[in-house]
Amino acid sequence: MTSRLRQRPAWRKLEEHFEAIKDVHLRELFADDPHRATKFSAEAEGIYLDFSKNRVTDETMALLMQLARESGLEERRDAMFNGAHINVSEDRAVLHVALRMPADTSLMVDGVDVVAQVHGVLARMRDFCVNVRSGQWKGATGKPIKNVVNVGIGGSDLGPVMAYEALRHYSQRDLTLRFVSNVDSTDFAEAVRDLVPDETLFIISSKTFTTLETLTNARSARDWVTTTLGEHAVARHFVAVSTNDQLVAEFGIDTSNMFGFWDWVGGRYSMDSAIGLSTMLAVGPEHFDELLAGFHAMDEHFRTAPLEKNVPALMGLLGLWNRDFFGFASVGVMPYEQYLKRLPAYLQQLTMESNGKHVTLEGEVVDYDTGALYWGEPGTNGQHSFYQLIHQGTAIVPVDLIGFARSLNPIGPHHDILSSNVFAQAEALAFGKTEAQVRAEGTPEHVVAHRVMEGNRPTNVLLCEVLTPRLLGSLIALYEHLVFTQGTIWDIDSFDQWGVELGKVLAVRIIPELEASEEPVLDHDSSTNELIRRYRAWKQR
C-alpha cells in the first residue's frame, strides 16, 4: 500500500518537478537569476542561512512548503509546544522547548506546570554551581573541587562534551572538566590519571540510571574515590543527574545531591536540562542562562515565523529534498570554528537517533528514505582529508558550512584565511571547473579529465557573527527543529530509539559467556560462537 506521504498531492508534484529539474546545473540557476542569493536566504537569531547553492527553484520551494502544510507541520509543531503526547511509541510529551521557557511563563502538562518545575531545578543547579566554583563546596578532606568528571553516555555525554568545548572561551579555567562515556576502562583510566580524588567531583549523568556503561564507570569512580577517602566521601564527591531518584539512592548518592529532569525530555534533547550541570559548572550560571535564552529565541522563531522564512523548517525541507528526491544519503556538517569541533558528533545522535526510523507513526513500513547519515569535522582540517570525495567522488554529499565573522582568539591573518575557505568551498562545490576552463589554464591533455570538477554539489552556508552561549543555543535549537520538520513529514516518531535495544540485550547475554571460568555452552549462530571462543582462548579462559 502506498504511504500517506507518497499520496500527498505535493509529493506527487515534487516527483514530476524533480524529473524536470534533476539535471539542471547550479551554474544555470545562478546565471538565470541575479537575485538568487537574496531570494534563497533567510535569517534568524543571528544565523544567516544562504541556501541558494541548493538545487532548487521557486517552484521547488513552493512545493516543499505545500508538502510541509499538507503534512501538518504547523499543527504538529503547535502540538509539541502544547505538551501533546507526540512521542506515540512511548506515549510521552516532547517538551525540550519547556526547558528554556522564561520563568515568568507557564505550561500546564497533565495538570502540572512544567516551567515551574524546570526553574526549580535550575535554581538548585545555580546554587550548587556557585558553591563549587567559589570553593565553598568542600571535598571530604576539606579541599575545594578543582576537577569535575561527567560520567554519562549518548545524550548524557555528547551534549555536555560539545557544549564544554564550544564554550571553553567562557569557562572558568582553573576548573578542569573531563568526560567519561565509553565502557572501555581506558576512557576512565585516562580521565582520572592525573587527578586526585579529594579535589574531584563526579557527576553521574543518566536519564534512566540503568545504562550499563554509565553505571559501570560510576562504580569504578566510586571505588577510585572510596579506596583513598572512605565510603563517607561519596556524599561530597558524587552528584547525580537523572529522572530516577530510586536508582540514584540505591547507588548510594544522596538524592539531595541529585538534579532531576523528566520523561518528556529525550536524552538527545537534554543538554539544556540538568544534564547541562557540567556546562553550568564550566561557564557559570549567567552564561548558562544566555545559552537557554538562545535556545528559546530559536524556539520562538520556529513556532511563529511563516514557513517561507522559517530557518529550521527551510533547512529541514531542503534536507528532505536532497535525501528523498536526489537520493543523497549523507549530510556533512563542517564548522569553521575550532570550538565547535564536537558539533558533528553531537548532531549525529540528534539527527540519526531521531530520524533513523523505518516505520510510520501507525507502524507501517515506509516506502521512502528517512534520516540521512550525518558526519563532519571542523574546517579547514576536513579539506585536507575527505573533501576530495565531496568535490570529485561519485557520491554527492550536501554540506552545511558553518562560519563566523569574528574569532574569539584573533591572531594575525588566521581568521580571514579560515573564513575564505568557507566561501571558497561553497563556490567550488557549486560551480566546479569545466573542461574548457581546465584547458584554458594550459593543462596537459592527459590530465584534463582528472582536473575537471563537475560542481552542482549542494551546500548550506550558515554565517554568524561570533560564537557566544546564546548563539550556540540558537544553533542547536535550529538543528532540533530541522529534525522535527523532517520527522513530521516522514510521518515517523523522532523521539524514540527502539533500534538500540537489541544490541544491549544481546550484550547482556554474552557478558557471562565471556566471564565464565568453565567453557560455556554457546547457542548463538556459528559466527558469534566462534568469535566468543577465539576471544576466550586469547584471554586464556
Q: Which stretch binds ligand F6P (CB under 6 A): 120-128, 207-215, 335-343, 450-458?
A: 207-215
Taking the chain, what is the end-to-end CA distance rounded to the nearest angstrom? 53
The smaller minimum CB distance to ligand F6P, of residues 155 and 455, is found at: 155
Check binding of 268 to ligand F6P (CB under 6 A). Answer: yes
- Of 485-524, binders to ligand F6P (CB under 6 A) are 497, 500
Q: Is the peptide bond prior to 2 cis by the omega test (within 30 degrees of 0)? A: no
Binding window for ligand F6P (CB under 6 A); candidates: 35-43, 153-161, 320-328, 436-444: 153-161
Among 83, 160, 267, 455, binds ligand F6P (CB under 6 A): 267
Nearer to ligand F6P, 206 or 494 (CB): 206
- Contact segment (CB under 6 A) with ligand F6P among 86-94, 109-117, 206-214, 429-437 equals 206-214
Kindly state the DSSP code that residue 323 receives in the 8-state scheme: I
Picking from 263, 422, 273, the residue whose alpha carbon sits closest to that of residue 336 is 422
DSSP string, 196-237: -GGGEEEEEE-SSS--HHHHHHHHHHHHHHHHHH-GGGHHHH
The helix-helix angle for 311-320 and 469-490 (nearest 10°) equals 50
| Least distance CB 267 / ligand F6P (angstroms) | 3
Residues 119 and 124: their CA atoms lie apart, in Å, by: 9
Examine residue 217 and tell whether it contacts ligand F6P (CB under 6 A): no
| Cβ distance to ligand F6P smaller for residue 159 or 458 | 159
* Cα–Cα dist 233/456, whole Å: 61
Binding residue (CB under 6 A) for ligand F6P from 214, 310, 351, 419? 214
Closest separation in Å from C-beta 473 to ligand F6P: 19
User: Residues 328 to 357: which contact ligand F6P by CB under 6 A?
Assistant: 353
Q: Quick one: cell of 451? A: 582536473
**Distances in Å between the alpha carbon of 150 and those of 147, 156, 205, 238, 279?**
10, 9, 7, 10, 10
Only segment of 139-147, 202-210, 335-343, 529-537 that touches ligand F6P (CB under 6 A):
202-210
The cell 535495544 sits on which residue? 501
The answer to whether the beta carbons of residues 443 and 461 sit under 8 Å apart is no
C-alpha distances out from residue 346 to 158, 240, 307, 395, 462, Å: 5, 22, 26, 24, 17
All three cell numbers of 28, joined, read 544555470
Q: What are phi and psi of 518, to 5 degrees?
A: -90, 150
At residue 403, what are phi and psi to the nearest 5 degrees?
-125, 160
* Residue from 83, 139, 144, 154 binding ligand F6P (CB under 6 A): 154
Interface segment toward ligand F6P; rule CB under 6 A; list 151-159, 229-237, 300-308, 424-432: 151-159
- Give the footprint of ligand F6P on residues 155-184 (CB under 6 A): 155-156
Residues binding ligand F6P: what is the number (CB under 6 A)? 14
Which grid cell sits at 211? Answer: 545504562
The letter for the amino acid at 124 is R
Task: Select from 248, 277, 81 the least CA-distant residue to 177.
Answer: 277
Which among 270, 266, 239, 271 has a CA at the least distance from the CA of 255? 239
Sign of CA dihedral 273, 278, 281, 287: negative
**Distances, alpha carbon 7 to alpha carbons 4, 12, 369, 370, 494, in Å:** 5, 7, 15, 16, 21
Residue closer to ligand F6P, measured from CB, 155 or 469: 155
Query: Nearer Cβ to ligand F6P, position 206 or 488?
Result: 206
SS3 state at 289: helix
The residues that are catalytic are: 353, 384, 504
Nearest-approach distance from CB 482 to ligand F6P, in angstroms: 18
Q: Give me the least distance between CB of 531 and ligand F6P, in Å please.
A: 23
Q: Which of 52, 211, 380, 460 binds ligand F6P (CB under 6 A)?
A: 211
- Per-residue binding letters, 452-491, with ligand F6P (x by CB under 6 A): ----------------------------------------
In the complex, the smallest distance separating the C-beta of residue 457 from ligand F6P, rounded to whole angstroms, is: 32
Q: Please, which residue, 155 or 312, has the CB nearer to ligand F6P?
A: 155
Min dist CB 231 to ligand F6P, Å, is 24
Q: How far is the CB of 500 from ligand F6P (least distance, A)?
A: 4
CB of 469 to ligand F6P, least distance (A): 22
At 33, is the secondary structure helix, strand, or coil?
Answer: coil
Q: Which of residues 352-391 bind ligand F6P (CB under 6 A)?
A: 353
Cα separation, 208 vs 205, whole angstroms: 9
Q: Which stretch binds ligand F6P (CB under 6 A): 16-24, 38-46, 117-125, 201-209?
A: 201-209
Task: Candidates 121, 132, 153, 163: give the one binding ligand F6P (CB under 6 A).
Answer: 153
Nearest distance from C-beta of residue 287 to ligand F6P, angstroms: 24
Give the cell for residue 179: 568526560
Q: Which residues bind ligand F6P (CB under 6 A)?
A: 153-156, 206-208, 211, 214, 267-268, 353, 497, 500
